Amino acid sequence: MTKFSAVSLLKNALTGHRNWTEQWPDSQPKEEYDVVIVGAGGHGLGAAYYLAKEHGITNVAVIDKGWLGGGNTGRNTTIIRSNYLYDESARLFDHALDLWQDLSQELNYNVMYSNRGVLMLAHNVHDVQSFKRHVHANRLNGVDNQWLTPEECKEVCPPLSLRKDARYPVMGGALQRRAGTARHDAVAWGYARGAAARGVDIIQNCPVTAIRRHPDGSVAGVETARGFIRARKVAVSAAGHTSVVMDSAGVRLPLESYPLQALVSEPVKPVFPCVVMSNAVHAYISQSDKGELVIGSGTDQYTSYSQRGGLPLIEHTVAAICEVFPVFNRMRMLRKWAGIVDVTPDRSAILGKTPVKGLYVNCGWGTGGFKATPGAAHTLAWTVAKDEPHPINAPFTLERFRTGRLIDEAAAAAVAH
Ligand SMILES: Cc1cc2nc3c(=O)[nH]c(=O)nc-3n(C[C@H](O)[C@H](O)[C@H](O)COP(=O)(O)OP(=O)(O)OC[C@H]3O[C@@H](n4cnc5c(N)ncnc54)[C@H](O)[C@@H]3O)c2cc1C
């Protein structure tokens, strides 16, 4: 595999870009692996990368029913931040944010991480009180977050309207400067390339139809469209389809799967320097390097696997954007799409061991798991390698729904992108 460097770019430019080698081979399944990971999204591929790199476990297959990165990893609006309220979440997301900072160098692949800042707008007294509480809680956890006046918000984001007669006037905002966005596909591709270079097999277009267990209950391997594959350990990282896959192993998960939509506008010159989220109006927006405004919607009101999403949600989102940014009233929207997100009752992830020996799970990221990709993958690899929780993922157990020790970011944030 060619290492990207100034020299290799120059050499290939001079030879008409005809000599680049393939970034990862399209592997065929072997009969047996030490670890099989179900789902080649950022989380699954990342876990394979860290298993190989940090734990020396390379007899690993990542299996996907479609193409790698074709799930929510390639469909999200790429907001990255770590200013969550509860200690457990702040630790996990901030671990990820630390890894984002030099992920491009780590992978020798440009994931285009841009720490342009994420600004969360307050539109009423409740928002002001709740975001100030977030700022204080974050600071106690060593997570950067600061409170801005409306005028300071406008300085950070010039297209913002501060009209006093607006239905939702801006009363201030919480800004995390270290937060931002990254190129979602590149994250999957970078991890895939790094994992494959260390010997991991990436098997695409191969649905896992069931997880098989030994008579003693421990994991035996996975049934796939291309036959049975034996595995000592299986980790499921299949986002909205995780509950179906895990059900085949006899593990019921408290997950509901919803379509979540996003859309982009026609491309325009750089006008939007940061990411803005407005939970009260329910809009979030940034601008891609191509110039499109990237706009996120909410989940549909009903569960579904249709990967399409309803029009009323999109209409509501666009109305919300026009409310906060009247300057965009005449923009044309180009396209919209949806992913199937896996939502837990407390809107926090389930990450770690399961009651089945040798079976691990990483799910429940719902509308906000892209930002967690490096951190979740890194700690999942540790758990799979050592068969024990990582100190950071330890609270994100399945048992918390039995014991009641929830990490209730749903109540804390209302929206968790
Ligand atoms: C529209 C939208 C906007 C979002 N915006 C943000 C955001 O701004 N910030 C943020 O942090 N998060 C956001 N998210 C959430 C984020 O995208 C996800 O939480 C995250 O990408 C999940 O990554 P993953 O690797 O776990 O899942 P995925 O990328 O979905 O990967 C799971 C893979 O499993 C595969 N799979 C499923 N079933 C099987 C099977 N039976 N056999 C084999 N393979 C299978 C799928 O094909 C898929 O490739 C958004 C999501 C959507 C849909």
Amino acid at position 37, single letter: I
Name which residue sits closest to atom 32 of ligand 1, judged by CA: 238
Q: Which residues line ligand 1 (CB under 6 A)?
A: 38-44, 63-66, 70-73, 75-79, 207-208, 237-239, 241, 245, 260-262, 296, 339, 341, 365, 367-371, 417
Whole-number pLDDT of residue 82? 97
H helices, E strands: number in the chain: 12, 16
Whole-number pLDDT of residue 410? 78
Side-chain half-sphere exposure of 321, counting CA atoms within 13 A: 28
Q: Mind giving me the DSSP string for 36-91?
A: EEE--SHHHHHHHHHHHHHH----EEEE-SSSTT-SGGGTS---B----SSHHHHH
CA angle 273, 348, 340 (to 5 degrees): 75
Whole-number pLDDT of residue 371? 98
Amino acid at position 155, single letter: E
Whole-number pLDDT of residue 417? 54
CA distance 93 to 81: 7
Structure confidence by residue, pLDDT tens digits, 171-183:
999 999 999 999 9
User: Are 60 and 200 within 8 A, CB to CB?
Assistant: yes
| Ranges of the chain whose pLDDT falls below 70 | 411-417
Q: Is the sign of the CA dihedral 262, 266, 270, 271 positive or negative?
A: negative
**What separation in Å is there between the alpha carbon of 320 and the centre of ligand 1?**
25
Atom number in ligand 1 closest to CA 363:
26
Whole-number pLDDT of residue 166? 87
- In the chain, what is the straight-line distance between the N-terminal and C-terminal CA atoms, in Å? 35
Domains and CATH numbers, the chain: 114-179+256-343 (3.30.9.10)
Whole-number pLDDT of residue 235? 98
Question: Among all chains, which residue has been given the structure tokens 């030879």?
Answer: 15
Q: Rounded to two decimals, what is the model's pTM?
A: 0.97
**What separation in Å is there between the alpha carbon of 47 and the centre of ligand 1?**
14
Beta strands in 227-325 (DSSP E): 227-236, 256-265, 275-278, 283-287, 293-299
User: Are 261 and 338 within 8 A, CB to CB?
Assistant: yes
Which of 43, 72, 317, 336 gets mutated to test ligand 1 (max ligand atoms within 8 A of its CB)?
72
What is the signed CA dihedral for 191, 200, 356, 303, rounded to 10 degrees? 40
Whole-number pLDDT of residue 2? 76
Whole-number pLDDT of residue 192? 98
- Structure letter (DSSP) for residue 273: -
Other residues' Cβ atoms within 10 Å of the Cβ of residue 359: 22
| Mean pLDDT over each residue of the chain, to the nearest integer | 95
- Largest interatomic CA distance in the chain: 68
